[in-house]
Amino acid sequence: MAERVVAEAVGITELIDLTGKRAFVTGGGQGIGMAIARRLVEAGAVVIIGDLDPAAQAAAAAIGAGFAACDITEPDQLDAALDVVTSAGGLDIVVNNAGIFPTTGPMIDVTDAFIHRMLDVNVRAQFSVAREAARRMQHGGSIVNLASIAGLGGGANISAYSASKAAVISLTRSFANELGPRGIRVNAIAPGIIDTPGVQDQLAPLQAGGVDITQRIAANPLGIAGQSDHVARVALFLVSELAEFVTGHTLIVDGGATA
Task: Tell me the pLDDT tens digit for each residue of 206-222.
Answer: 566 666 767 777 789 99
Strand order in the sheet with 93-96: 66-69, 46-51, 22-26, 93-96, 141-146, 184-191, 250-253
Task: Tell if the pTM clears 0.85, that is, is over it.
Answer: yes
* CATH code assigned at 24: 3.40.50.720
Please report the pLDDT score of residue 209 as a whole number: 60
Task: Tell me the pLDDT tens digit for each residue of 60-72.
Answer: 999 999 999 999 9
The answer to whether residue 4 sits within a structural domain is no
Q: Which domain holds residue 105?
A: 17-195+227-253
Residues assigned a catalytic role: 161
Please report the pLDDT score of residue 103 as a whole number: 67
The answer to whether residue 208 sits within a structural domain is no
The answer to whether residue 119 sits within a structural domain is yes
Phi, psi of 195 (to 5 degrees): -75, 85
Tell me: pLDDT of 192 over 80.
yes
Domain tally, the chain:
1
Closest listed residue to residue 28, CA positions, set 45, 6, 7, 49: 49
Question: 33, 95 in Cβ contact below 8 A?
Answer: yes
The answer to whether residue 200 sits within a structural domain is no
Task: Tell me the pLDDT tens digit for each residue of 104-122.
Answer: 678 999 999 999 999 999 9
The separation between the first and the last C-alpha atoms of the chain, rounded to the nearest angstrom, is 38
Please give the average per-residue pLDDT across 22-36, as a whole number.
96
